[in-house]
A and B are shown apart, each in its own frame.
Chain A
Amino acid sequence: MDILSNLALGFSVALSPWTLMLAILGCFIGTIVGALPGLGPSNGVALLIPITFSMGLDATAALVLLTSVYYGAMYGGRISSILLNIPGDEPAMMTCLDGYPMAKNGRAGDALVISGVASFVGALLATVALMLIAPMLAQAAYLFGPAEYFALYLLAFSTLGGIASKNQAKAALASAIGLGIAMIGLDNQTGLPRFTGGNLHLMDGIDFLVAIVGLFAVSEVFVFIESHGKGSALGVKLGKITVPWRDIWETKWTMLRSSILGFIAGILPGAGASLGSFLTYMMEKSIAGEKGKFGTGVVKGVAAPEAGNNSAAGGALVPMLTLGVPGSGTTAVLLAVLMTLNITPGPTLFADRPEVVWGLIASLLIANVVLLLMNVPMVKIFVKILMVPPALLLPGVMMVSFVGIYSLTGSYFDLLLMIAFGVMGWLFRKLDIPTVPVILGILLGNAMEDNLRRAMILSDGDAMFLFSSPISIGLWVAAILGFVAPIFLRRIIKKPTVPDHAKPVD
């Protein structure tokens, strides 16, 4: 009954009028951000962090607002997938496959309602699972010493690089660049500056918020300047919205299965929501077989990826809250939120700051209900917002980025750095180098180095200490497998379908 009393504590925090208002506001902004092509959960949250802090919200309030935006964006992504055939964010990609054909068949309203309900089921089940699993994992995390944490960080980098990207070298390079950037500034142990080139602005290191906003938001604007914001005209008419009860009932097992698989995909470090929606769609497609007609606009093809990606979004919070290791780009951004609020995620968070954890969980449950109400009867409002032309939207994004960072640090140097990170983000996207590992490197770099040094102090410089406990050996093995296995899997899986791309390079 521990959980119930904790939950009661959570609701007592989350149900205060002020927090409730922030949750509703966050859901609304989040849905818009998710629906707009080019803005997804990670850059949406990234954009709002500096502004939230400049407003001086306390820890719980800021966290509630930003996680509501996160959940809202996961809901909103489906709107443009279905109506425009452009995923509003990456995890909503799979929803295009059946959502857009449904819309073309004149069932846009049905597709929006079913996907909204599927999102609700996925997110709700995931939040409940998070409630049950996270405290247990937090207990296990007490067994982690510096050597284990070092191996855990390595695991996060290697699976993020292994699963989420197409080229191992590029993913590893992105992590290394992030870690290298994290080293800039004063050395934690000796207090001496490193890699500052004598520049006083760099003494405190590079603020990760500057890097996040630059890489995620500013680079998006450059991408739009290059492409001139093509393909954002609304193609499908939306009729009257009715609730297709029969279809929803028919997809109940699909939603349930997808929620479970999505949650597991979300917990895995480096996998996150995109993998969740991909796996669930493939699973339902193979269960339904040929006569399932997946890809032609069937309801299960809309329900599965939406339940999957929303559930994965909840699952991704588990490693982030209990171990401080994010599993995806957006949870990396949420980790940045916690770090800025001076909250250290990990087992101690559950013991010392229960009001933060349980307030967060309670507000996720509330956000879910709010989002269901917003996304089914009020979906037309969001469809209107999709018609904002990119030539107005993207300059707006840029100006908000500038104001956010400027009001946070008040320094023109940080603004210049942010532009530089924006250019870097654009170049990396061109070269197909993932940007999420860069962020993860900047966020975790100092902690990773500290743990390595602490482990070596404990063992008096014996490197074998890193592999001395069963947990750390397990993590090292998982890290190496997670990095190497996809190289082989990719060849096996891709060869029969796309022979041209999978040709081994000799």
Chain B
Amino acid sequence: MISGDRLFGAVVVLGAGAYAAAALQLQTGFMSDPVGSKTFPLLVAGVSVICGLVMVIRPDDDPEWPTLRTLGALAVAVAVLAAYAYTLKPLGFLIPTAIAAGVLSYQINPRPMFAVLAGLGLSVGLFSLFKFVLGLGLVALPGG
């Protein structure tokens, strides 16, 4: 089993390489200063490469990784939230919020009734708080 630190360190080294390559591609403006727009990003990339290599060579003890099931749950959470981000504008606040909050609640503590109530309660409660107490411009329902 590859250690998490080693894997992450390797990813960092590759990422920093790509970052440095992108920095070298930068166009230099005609009014350039002695340092220019490349130097600082290149320094940052250099530091990252060193740190990444240290992580590959001397990794810490591996953390306790979640089971595949938990990873799946996290992936679902991320997917639900991404969907929430896309639908917040077209569908208004109330419906997407109730669904997203309910799903998250169920994922933290799998009690269906509680999750449904938590979703509905948070959706309506937060909407009233934001709209009527704090005066933020939220839209309740599609087309509303």
Q: List residues of chain A with CB under 8 Å of any chain B CB.
A: 51, 54-55, 166-167, 169-170, 172-173, 175-177, 179-180, 183, 187, 189-192, 194-195, 218, 221-222, 224-226, 228-229, 389-392, 394-396, 398-400, 402-403, 406-407, 412, 415-416, 419, 422-423, 426-427, 430-432, 448-449, 452-453, 456-457, 460-461, 505
- Please tell me if B10 contacts chain A, counting CB pairs below 8 Å: no
Assess whether A391 is in contact with B114, with CB atoms less than 8 Å apart. Answer: yes
Q: How far is the CB of A366 from chain B (nearest CB, A)?
A: 23
Assess whether B44 is in contact with A180, with CB atoms less than 8 Å apart. Answer: yes
Assess whether A430 is in contact with B84, with CB atoms less than 8 Å apart. Answer: no
Assess whether A395 is in contact with B122, with CB atoms less than 8 Å apart. Answer: yes
Assess whether A419 is in contact with B32, with CB atoms less than 8 Å apart. Answer: no
8 pairs of residues in contact across A and B, judged by CB atoms under 8 Å: A187-B29, A189-B31, A190-B29, A221-B104, A225-B73, A453-B40, A457-B34, A505-B58
Assess whether B48 is in contact with A177, with CB atoms less than 8 Å apart. Answer: yes
A394 proximity list for chain B (CB < 8 A): 104-105, 108
Assess whether B136 is in contact with A389, with CB atoms less than 8 Å apart. Answer: no
State A446–B51 Cα separation when bound (angstroms): 22
In the complex, residue of chain A having the shortest beta-carbon distance to the beta carbon of B12:
A173
State A193–B136 Cα separation when bound (angstroms): 33
Assess whether A391 is in contact with B77, with CB atoms less than 8 Å apart. Answer: no
B89 proximity list for chain A (CB < 8 A): 412
Assess whether B101 is in contact with A395, with CB atoms less than 8 Å apart. Answer: yes
Q: How far is the CB of B71 from chain A (nearest CB, A)?
A: 9
Given A169-B58, A170-B60, A403-B93: 20 more A-B contacts, CB < 8 Å: A54-B136, A55-B134, A169-B55, A173-B51, A175-B47, A180-B44, A183-B40, A183-B44, A187-B37, A192-B27, A389-B109, A395-B105, A395-B118, A399-B122, A403-B126, A415-B84, A427-B8, A448-B40, A453-B34, A457-B35
Q: How far is the CB of A210 from chain B (nearest CB, A)?
A: 12
State A415–B138 Cα separation when bound (angstroms): 16
Q: How far is the CB of A332 from chain B (nearest CB, A)?
A: 18
Q: How far is the CB of A230 from chain B (nearest CB, A)?
A: 10
CB-CB contacts of B55-76 with A at 8 A, as 1s and 0s?
1001010010110001001100
Assess whether A194 is in contact with B37, with CB atoms less than 8 Å apart. Answer: yes
- Please tell me which one of the listed residues B41, B44, B135 contacts residue A55 in the complex, with CB atoms under 8 A apart: B135
Assess whether A176 is in contact with B44, with CB atoms less than 8 Å apart. Answer: yes
In the complex, residue of chain B having the shortest beta-carbon distance to the beta carbon of A428:
B8
Given contacts A400-B126, A423-B78, contact A412 B44 (CB under 8 A): no
In the complex, residue of chain B having the shortest beta-carbon distance to the beta carbon of A167:
B60
B97 proximity list for chain A (CB < 8 A): 399, 402
B118 proximity list for chain A (CB < 8 A): 391-392, 395
State A401–B134 Cα separation when bound (angstroms): 15
- Please tell me if B132 contacts chain A, counting CB pairs below 8 Å: no
Interface contact tally, CB-CB below 8 A = 193
B17 proximity list for chain A (CB < 8 A): none
User: How many positions in chain B have a CB within 8 Å of any CB in the partner chain?
Assistant: 73
- Please tell me if B140 contacts chain A, counting CB pairs below 8 Å: no
Q: How far is the CB of A403 from chain B (nearest CB, A)?
A: 6
A187 proximity list for chain B (CB < 8 A): 29, 37
State A336–B112 Cα separation when bound (angstroms): 39
Identify which of A183, A395, A402, A403 gathers the most chain B CB atoms within 10 Å of its CB. A395
Assess whether A391 is in contact with B108, with CB atoms less than 8 Å apart. Answer: yes
Assess whether A192 is in contact with B37, with CB atoms less than 8 Å apart. Answer: yes
A461 proximity list for chain B (CB < 8 A): 34-35
Assess whether A192 is in contact with B26, with CB atoms less than 8 Å apart. Answer: yes
- Please tell me if B95 contacts chain A, counting CB pairs below 8 Å: no
Identify which of A176, A226, A229 gathers the most chain B CB atoms within 10 Å of its CB. A176
Judged by DSSP, the binding face of A is helix
Q: How far is the CB of A372 from chain B (nearest CB, A)?
A: 27
A419 proximity list for chain B (CB < 8 A): 78, 81-82, 85
Identify which of B29, B82, B109, B135 gathers the most chain A CB atoms within 10 Å of its CB. B109
Identify which of A391, A449, A452 gathers the most chain B CB atoms within 10 Å of its CB. A391
Given contacts A190-B29, A195-B19, A457-B34, contact A51 B44 (CB under 8 A): no
Assess whether A391 is in contact with B111, with CB atoms less than 8 Å apart. Answer: yes
- Please tell me which one of the listed residues A189, A395, A412, A423 contacts residue B37 in the complex, with CB atoms under 8 A apart: A189
Assess whether B26 is in contact with A194, with CB atoms less than 8 Å apart. Answer: yes
Q: How far is the CB of B3 from chain A (nearest CB, A)?
A: 10
State A461–B73 Cα separation when bound (angstroms): 53
Given contacts A183-B44, A392-B105, contact A225 B77 (CB under 8 A): yes
State A194–B12 Cα separation when bound (angstroms): 19
State A175–B47 Cα separation when bound (angstroms): 9
State A179–B29 Cα separation when bound (angstroms): 22
Assess whether B136 is in contact with A51, with CB atoms less than 8 Å apart. Answer: yes
A175 proximity list for chain B (CB < 8 A): 47
In the complex, residue of chain B having the shortest beta-carbon distance to the beta carbon of A195:
B22
In the complex, residue of chain A having the shortest beta-carbon distance to the beta carbon of B115:
A391
Q: How far is the CB of A405 from chain B (nearest CB, A)?
A: 10
State A422–B109 Cα separation when bound (angstroms): 20
Assess whether B33 is in contact with A457, with CB atoms less than 8 Å apart. Answer: yes
Assess whether B58 is in contact with A412, with CB atoms less than 8 Å apart. Answer: no
Q: How far is the CB of B70 from chain A (nearest CB, A)?
A: 6
In the complex, residue of chain A having the shortest beta-carbon distance to the beta carbon of B27:
A192
In the complex, residue of chain B having the shortest beta-carbon distance to the beta carbon of A174:
B51
B123 proximity list for chain A (CB < 8 A): 399
A166 proximity list for chain B (CB < 8 A): 60
- Please tell me which one of the listed residues B41, B58, B102, B136 contacts residue A180 in the complex, with CB atoms under 8 A apart: B41
- Please tell me which one of the listed residues B31, B60, B115 contacts residue A190 in the complex, with CB atoms under 8 A apart: B31
Assess whether A226 is in contact with B66, with CB atoms less than 8 Å apart. Answer: yes
Q: How far is the CB of B45 from chain A (nearest CB, A)?
A: 7
Given contacts A169-B54, A407-B137, A419-B81, contact A431 B41 (CB under 8 A): no
